[in-house]
Amino acid sequence: MGLNERKLKILQAIIGDFITTAEPVGSRTLSKKYDLGVSPATIRNEMADLEDMGFLTHPHTSAGRVPSEKAYRLYVNEIMKKKELSKREKDAIAKKLYENVSELDKTIEHAANILSEITNLTAFALTPQQKHDRLKFINLLPVDDSTVVLMIVSEAGKVSNTALRLQVPYTEEALSILSKSMTYNYKGKTLSEALTLDIIENFETDIEAMGGLAKNIMPNFMKTLEEMLNVNLYMEGLTNIFNIPEYNDIDQAKMFMEMVNRKEDFTKTLISREDGLLITIGEENSDESMKNCSLITATYHVDGKLVGKLGVIGPTRMKYGEITSVIEYLTENISNAFRLTGGNNDKE
Amino acid sequence: MGLNERKLKILQAIIGDFITTAEPVGSRTLSKKYDLGVSPATIRNEMADLEDMGFLTHPHTSAGRVPSEKAYRLYVNEIMKKKELSKREKDAIAKKLYENVSELDKTIEHAANILSEITNLTAFALTPQQKHDRLKFINLLPVDDSTVVLMIVSEAGKVSNTALRLQVPYTEEALSILSKSMTYNYKGKTLSEALTLDIIENFETDIEAMGGLAKNIMPNFMKTLEEMLNVNLYMEGLTNIFNIPEYNDIDQAKMFMEMVNRKEDFTKTLISREDGLLITIGEENSDESMKNCSLITATYHVDGKLVGKLGVIGPTRMKYGEITSVIEYLTENISNAFRLTGGNNDKE
DNA sequence: GTTAGCACTCACCTAATAAGAGTGCTAACA
DNA sequence: TGTTAGCACTCTTATTAGGTGAGTGCTAAC
């Protein structure tokens, strides 16, 4: 028994209807609402077939049909068409996105916000992983008798610094030597390379000479590098799930909230996902807590190098077509925003 | 009709019982559970009096009594005793709190986390308002042909910097002059003073000479100052409310989540509250969305100067005594942690 | 192959009933 | 005069039963 055109048409109608109404759809409603050219009885026969084939399920005998995850998978792979966004939508998105383009993090946060507002789902965005970002500039600046500022700039333009209060007095000369020595050792290295460098060895001889200065500073340097490697997770539209029938139940809502609030786990899940547009439906998710969710993620690029991710999470019943269109438009424009402006806040 | 000792004892028992069980408490349970020395009938008479006085309410005729907000107010003001924390609890708190004491923000976040775990409520903490923090160090550092880093250090040890990509070439000399000029103009000023300074005037003559360098940099400087003035709000234990009977209802949970997710509003509410330990119960809250919550906030000090806030929010039925004890212990120790170590990561 | 007709199923809603917790009042007691 | 036992009464909550309607699956006719 194959999926002839009529079956496909009926399946598509069922999926489309269910996605918007969240109600099991019956043969009569189907024949009234959609112009299928056949009677409810025929539709019933076809639906029975579709159920045998695993595309539909039955909450109970006297209920309408509900698409299975297999149906969504088919829908995503073959039926759904990407919806071209209207000029107005595009403009609205672009306007918000370009609002504060000087800070990558802010833009990423905005992107998640836009996404959640358009989709009415929970949206998220990860700031880029900086693993391959290289150290460009390292400096130690005297601020006062007991305070120096450690400053690190990466090629991607990320700046990080910490005010260090030293336990021991220091001389500007020693500071300058250490600063130069660090630059010599680390400049041009990627963040992850830098983290594996055995610094103690490199500075062994100097440490005594500089009265513990390096001993004071290097641990902080490494800690700062680690922090630069951290990605930030932005989440928006958390409360949207309360408006979704699937989560109109305190336990469901709780489970969902708890899942997305385990930010480290969630971040790990996102990072480990393949690059590019990826849709995982229900059981396809490896995370136990996501087995009744669908997750859509996409990769964005900045300067053609760094990559981060953004996407949405919600019930398996979601508007896959529209959502992927918005996500793709967003990823393109995050890339563009930064390619065109070099991360500065002047638009071309 | 006054609040004689027996009435007070009964009221206390009712409040205590209701706080732990969340069930309306009846005369029989009361006489069985607590050793009041009188029969249920007597208790009933007293309860009727207490209800007339406004301390108790009646969900319906055949239900037990529930404390009114007036009762909680009395309880908080006069009955409740602060619970001395056990050594073990104190140690556990201190250990977590001192874990990463080099960064104020991290410590504040930890504090909120500890608080939510101990109280099983939603806890929050605001990083200090830096209004009166003074600028200590301003520097412009050349990184490459088109990039300079703007670095600002405040007396409180807050460091901020931004990599600026300039549209025009610059000379190190011009940069150095600008840097010195900025230091001259802003050093020692508080952040809020600095923000109101009319810089354009100060640099009018220099701007031409430095080929627009100042014009490029000053707006970013001001923006950075503004960011330094921002406070951060950390929230922990959001999903705890799902375990609270009062919020075991999708609409209640939704309202709560939406309230605490309006972070700007919430932050404003917190900032505008009086310093010190402050408990507001139900209707005492000016925020419409908090009228059925209780909010406890306290102020913490760092170096005896900067102040931030932390606290919990939950249903009016909460363990006021225990919670305030924990909050007070936390605020003291945040202060101590930074007083003793000067914000560095070595303990004394 | 398609359709009309019809019996059948099952969730859901409503009303009715029963059970249980707790009060308020009255009268007796110390 | 304050305290207590007793009891009728109230009101929620749980349970059950009956009715309704949406929708299916099957059969027989077209």
C1' of C27 to CA of B20 (Å): 37
Q: Please state the rounded mean pLDDT for residues A267-279.
A: 95
Q: Is B21 on the interface with A (CB under 8 A)?
A: no
- Please check whether strand C approaches the CB of B284 to within 7 Å: no
Instruction: With CB atoms and an 8 Å threshold, state whether A149 touches B153.
Output: yes
Q: Which of A250, A221, A246, A86 is nearest to A161 (CA)?
A: A221
Low-confidence ranges of chain B (pLDDT < 50): 342-348
Q: Please state the rounded mean pLDDT for residues A245-265.
A: 94
Q: What CA–CA distance (Å, rounded) separates B234 from B311? A: 11
Considering only CB atoms, which chain A residues are within 8 Å of B159?
149, 161-163
Range of lowest pLDDT (A21-25, A31-35, A185-189, A207-211): A207-211
Buried/exposed B253-291: b ≥16 CB within 10 Å, e otherwise:
bbbbbebbeeeeebbebbeebeeeeebbbbebbeeebbe
Report the pLDDT value the prediction gives residue A102, as an integer from 0 to 100: 61
C1' of C13 to CA of B247 (Å): 26
* Closest residue by C-alpha to C1' distance, nucleotide D6: B41
Task: Report strand pairing: B122-126 vs B233-236.
Answer: antiparallel
Find the CB nearest A151 among B147, B149, B165. Answer: B149
Q: Which of B177, B162, B169 is nearest to B144 (CA)?
A: B169
Q: Among all residues of chain B, which has the CA nearest to that of A141?
A: B139
- pTM as predicted: 0.87
Contacts of range B173-177, beta carbons closer than 8 Å, 24 or more positions apart: B174/B209, B174/B210, B174/B211, B174/B213, B175/B140, B175/B142, B175/B148, B175/B213, B176/B140, B177/B206, B177/B210
Considering chain A, what is the average pLDDT of its residues?
A: 88
Q: Which two tokens stand for residue B123?
A: 């806890």
Q: Please state the rounded mean pLDDT for residues A52-74.
A: 95
CA distances for A145 relative to A167, A168, A169, B224, B344, angstroms? 10, 10, 7, 25, 15
Q: Is A343 on the interface with B (CB under 8 A)?
A: yes
Report the pLDDT value the prediction gives residue A23, as an integer from 0 to 100: 94
Higher pLDDT, A163 or A186: A186
Report the pLDDT value the prediction gives residue A90, as an integer from 0 to 100: 92
Residue A345 pLDDT class (50, 70, 90 cuts): very low
A37: nt with nearest C1' to CA: C2
B25: nt with nearest C1' to CA: C22
**Tens-place pLDDT, residues A32-57:** 999 898 999 999 999 999 999 999 99
Strand C: which positions are within 7 A of a protein CB?
2-5, 8-11, 20-26
Instruction: With CB atoms and an 8 Å threshold, state whether B258 touches A239.
Output: yes
Torsion angles phi and psi, residue A59, rounded to 5: -55, -40
Residue A346 pLDDT class (50, 70, 90 cuts): very low
- Please check whether strand C approaches the CB of B205 to within 7 Å: no
Range of lowest pLDDT (A139-143, A283-287, B61-65, B75-79): A139-143
Report the pLDDT value the prediction gives residue B343, as an integer from 0 to 100: 42
Instruction: With CB atoms and an 8 Å threshold, state whether B158 touches A163.
Output: yes
Contacts of range B286-292, beta carbons closer than 8 Å, 24 or more positions apart: B287/B259, B289/B255, B289/B258, B289/B259, B290/B259, B292/B246, B292/B316
Q: What CA–CA distance (Å, rounded) separates B194 from B137? A: 13
Q: Which two tokens stand for residue B171?
A: 């000379």
DSSP secondary structure string for all residues of A331-345: HHHHHHHHHHHTTSS
Q: Which residues pair with A301 in a beta bridge?
A: A307
Q: Is A215 on the interface with B (CB under 8 A)?
A: no
Report the pLDDT value the prediction gives residue A78, as an integer from 0 to 100: 93
Considering only CB atoms, which chain A residues are within 8 Å of B218?
none
Q: Is A163 on the interface with B (CB under 8 A)?
A: yes
Residues 6+ away with beta carbon under 8 Å from A94: A333
CA distances for B56 relative to B10, B314, B317, angstroms? 11, 20, 13
Instruction: With CB atoms and an 8 Å threshold, state whether B249 touches A250.
Output: yes
Mutate to test the interface with B, among A133, A135, A137, A347 (most CBs of B within 10 A): A137
Find the CB nearest B346 among A149, A167, A258. Answer: A167
Instruction: With CB atoms and an 8 Å threshold, state whether A163 touches B157.
Output: yes
Higher pLDDT, A20 or A216: A20
Q: Is A162 on the interface with B (CB under 8 A)?
A: yes
Considering only CB atoms, which chain B residues are within 8 Å of A220?
102
Q: For residue A205, is pLDDT > 80?
A: no
Find the CB nearest B239 among A147, A161, A254. Answer: A254
Instruction: With CB atoms and an 8 Å threshold, state whether B153 touches A163.
Output: yes
Q: State CA B249 to chain mean position distance.
A: 26
C1' of C8 to CA of A62 (Å): 10
Instruction: With CB atoms and an 8 Å threshold, state whether B261 touches A254.
Output: no
Q: Which two tokens stand for residue A265?
A: 């786990």
Please give, rounded to a whole number of angstroms, the shortest distance from the CA of B195 to a CA of chain A.
20
